[in-house]
Structures are given as structure tokens and as C-alpha cells.
């Protein structure tokens, strides 16, 4: 069966594919404006050097009609850390950031969809780190209100860069060039996502999310020192897993551990917990009690059905 990624009009988030969207509104230049007005000059460092940092923000529809954005404050702080490491000045406060997200959410408000906002700081002025000026651009896309389905994956021949080459803890578009190459490789093999190894041949992460492996009843995930993103979602899941009686351990993972895993999944803002049903055409166990239970409890928390203290929601009221 052909992969959904074979359709060039769709893009995969790791939880299935979404039709490419062109929303009516975007946040740019300090306010909400028509989509077509969000432009960058061809000479800006954002264009010629791909100089930007970004965060993905997931907003879940709540029973009262509001939208709850998960870990908004933590995402803002990670955005600032990424900007600091690339010497990009951040002129906006958290209150400014939250206000911008609220304005765009209200402009595109719907009660039958969840929201995904990509918050990007683009360098619009400056040269080689001098006189740098950045602009916050928010683009927002609708998502279905459902849990992610299982996917097929492979292990890529491409490798995650090291901390002294292109530090993985910097969430920048340039860090995802290797993800693009790995995705194209995976598409040729009809896989929906690919796992990247680090320079030592150990597991780093997938092209879009962190890797979760269940072995001997314990949940394992590579630490940032192995080339994985400093995951906000993993930190929250660690506390939820503990309440369910499971330990979440950060440790190096060998490639072969993926093939003998009791359960295998991905986790991140968009992927939530996405189960992997096969890797490199090797089937994985169909029964996934630990990761499926963790996903169910996480979704109860983010949708407000059953709150959990480890899941922080920044509420955007109905307009």
C-alpha cells in the first residue's frame, strides 16, 4: 500500500498527514494580517542563511469553547534559549507572546478543530550577527480532534549533527535540513517517518519527535546528549507515567534495541504519542498497553476532560 507521503500536497506530522493549508490570517509585524502580507526580504538572513528559531504550539478545544495551549510558557522559554544560542535578540515578553497567540487564535477561531501554531522568530535585519533584528511570525493550522494513528517507520542513513556542528538543542529550521533528506529517503521506501541516528550510531530522534522505547516494562528515551531535542512533552509524560506506575528513563539507545522493543512510539507536541507498528519492515508487537495507556491519560489532560498537574494549559477564551 502506498504511503500517504507519496502525495506531494500533504505533509506528515508524525500523526498522519494533513492537507496543506493556506489560512486566511497570520501574525506578522506585530499584528494579525492577511496571509499574503507575511513576507521576508530576499536579502534577509532568514532567507539567505535560514536564520530562525521556532516552536510548535498545540491548542486543544475545551468543553467551554476555549482553546487550551499546552505548555505555552515552556515553549516561550525554549524559544528564548534557542534564540540566545544563535545570538538572536528577543524583544517580546511572555505576555506579548501569549497575546499574539490569542489574537491569531481568535482570528481563526473554530470549535470543531484543534489548533497548531508555529511560532517563528525570523531574522529580518542584520549581517553576520551584527545589528540583528528579529520578527515574530505565527502561522496557525487546523487539526482534527482525534488521537494519532499508528505509523510505519525506517532508520535513515542520514545522521543527526553533533553539538559542535549544529547543536540539536537549538530549535531552528536549519536543523531540519537533515530531517527533510531523511523524509525523502523514507518516502522512497513508503515509510511515514524516519529515525535518525547520531554520529556514534545510536538513536537520536525521529525527523519530528522524540523516540519512546518500552523494554522490560520500562519506558526509555534518548537524552539530549544523544542528539534528541530537549523535549517539553517528555518532561510532562515522565510525571504522568510515574502516576501510572511506570518509570521513564533517559539513556542511550542502540539501533538494535528498536527492533526488539516491546513497544515503540514517538512523542512531541504534534505527535502526542504516536505508536510505531513496524520498523524497516520488521513488525512490532500489536499490543501496546503502556504507551497506549499513557496516550489516553495525556489526551484526557490536554483536552480538559481529566486534568493532570503535569499538564499546563494556557487558556484562550472564545472570542
291 and 170 in a common domain = yes
Determine the Cα–Cα distance for residues 160 and 176; give it in Å rounded to an integer.
10
Q: For residue 5, give Cα distances in angstroms to 83, 151, 268.
A: 32, 11, 20
Task: Please calculate the CA angle 2-6-10 and round it to the nearest 5 degrees.
Answer: 125
At residue 113, φ and ψ (nearest 5 deg) are -135, 155
Q: Is the pLDDT of residue 124 over 90?
A: yes
Would you say residue 314 lies in a domain?
no
205 and 97 in a common domain = no
Name the pTM for this structure.
0.93
Q: How far apart are the first and last CA of the chain?
A: 43
243 and 291 in a common domain = yes
Please state the domain count of the chain. Answer: 2
Cβ neighbours of residue 283 under 8 Å, at least 6 residues apart?
277
Would you say residue 132 lies in a domain?
yes
Q: Of 11-25, 101-115, 215-229, 254-268, which gets the smallest average pLDDT?
A: 11-25
pLDDT at 19: 61
22 and 101 in a common domain = yes
Would you say residue 100 lies in a domain?
yes
139 and 161 in a common domain = no
pLDDT at 14: 44
Task: Please calculate the CA angle 27-83-94 and round it to the nearest 5 degrees.
Answer: 55
Q: Is the pLDDT of residue 9 over 50?
A: no
Would you say residue 318 lies in a domain?
no
Domain that holds residue 210: 151-302
pLDDT digits (tens, 9 = 90+) for 87-96: 999 999 999 9
Would you say residue 81 lies in a domain?
yes
Given the C-alpha cell 507536541, which residue does it identify? 269
pLDDT digits (tens, 9 = 90+) for 263-296: 999 999 999 999 999 999 999 999 999 999 999 9
Q: Is the pLDDT of residue 18 over 80?
A: no
CATH of the domain at 35: 3.30.470.10
128 and 242 in a common domain = no
CATH of the domain at 273: 3.20.10.10
CB 187 within 8 A of CB 245: no
Q: Is the pLDDT of residue 17 over 70?
A: no
At residue 140, φ and ψ (nearest 5 deg) are -130, 135
Determine the Cα–Cα distance for residues 27 and 25; give it in Å rounded to an integer.
7
Write down which residue in 110, 143, 176 finishes a domain.
Answer: 143
Q: Is the pLDDT of residue 1 over 90?
A: no
37 and 60 in a common domain = yes
Identify the helix (H) or strand (E) that includes residue 80.
Answer: helix 72-85
Amino acid at each position: 500500500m502506498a504511503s500517504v507521503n507519496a502525495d506531494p500536497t500533504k505533509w506528515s506530522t508524525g500523526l498522519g498527514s494533513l492537507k496543506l493549508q493556506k489560512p486566511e490570517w497570520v501574525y506578522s509585524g506585530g499584528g494579525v494580517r492577511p496571509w499574503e502580507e507575511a513576507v521576508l526580504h530576499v536579502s534577509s538572513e532568514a532567507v539567505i542563511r535560514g536564520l530562525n528559531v521556532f516552536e510548535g504550539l498545540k491548542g486543544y478545544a475545551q468543553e467551554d469553547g476555549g482553546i487550551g495551549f499546552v505548555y505555552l510558557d515552556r515553549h516561550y522559554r525554549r524559544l528564548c534559549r534557542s534564540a540566545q544560542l544563535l545570538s538572536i535578540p528577543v524583544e517580546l515578553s511572555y505576555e506579548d507572546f501569549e497575546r499574539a497567540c490569542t489574537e491569531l487564535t481568535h482570528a481563526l477561531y473554530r470549535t470543531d478543530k484543534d489548533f497548531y501554531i508555529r511560532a517563528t522568530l525570523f531574522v529580518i535585519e542584520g549581517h553576520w550577527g551584527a545589528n540583528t533584528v528579529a520578527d515574530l511570525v505565527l502561522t496557525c493550522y487546523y487539526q482534527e480532534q482525534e488521537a494519532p494513528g499508528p505509523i510505519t517507520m525506517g532508520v535513515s542513513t542520514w545522521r543527526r549533527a553533533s553539538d559542535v556542528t549544529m547543536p540539536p538543542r537549538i530549535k531552528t529550521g536549519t536543523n531540519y535540513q537533515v530531517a527533510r533528506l531523511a523524509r525523502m529517503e523514507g518516502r522512497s521506501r513508503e515509510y511515514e517517518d524516519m529515525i535518525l541516528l547520531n554520529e556514534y550510531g545510536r538513536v537520536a530522534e525521529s525527523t519530528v519527535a522524540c523516540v519512546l522505547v518500552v523494554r522490560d516494562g520500562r519506558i526509555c528515551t534518548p537524552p539530549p546528549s544523544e542528539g534528541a531535542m530537549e523535549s517539553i512533552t517528555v518532561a510532562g509524560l515522565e510525571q504522568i507515567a510515574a502516576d501510572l506506575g511506570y518509570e521513564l528513563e533517559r539513556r542511550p539507545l542502540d539501533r538494535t534495541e528498536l527492533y526488539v522493543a516491546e513497544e515503540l512510539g514517538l512523542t512531541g507536541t504534534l505527535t502526542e504519542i504516536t505508536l510505531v507498528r513496524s520498523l524497516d519492515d520488521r513488525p512490532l508487537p500489536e499490543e501496546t498497553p503502556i504507551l497506549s495507556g499513557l496516550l489516553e491519560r495525556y489526551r484526557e489532560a490536554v483536552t480538559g476532560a481529566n486534568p493532570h498537574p503535569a499538564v499546563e494549559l494556557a487558556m484562550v477564551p472564545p472570542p
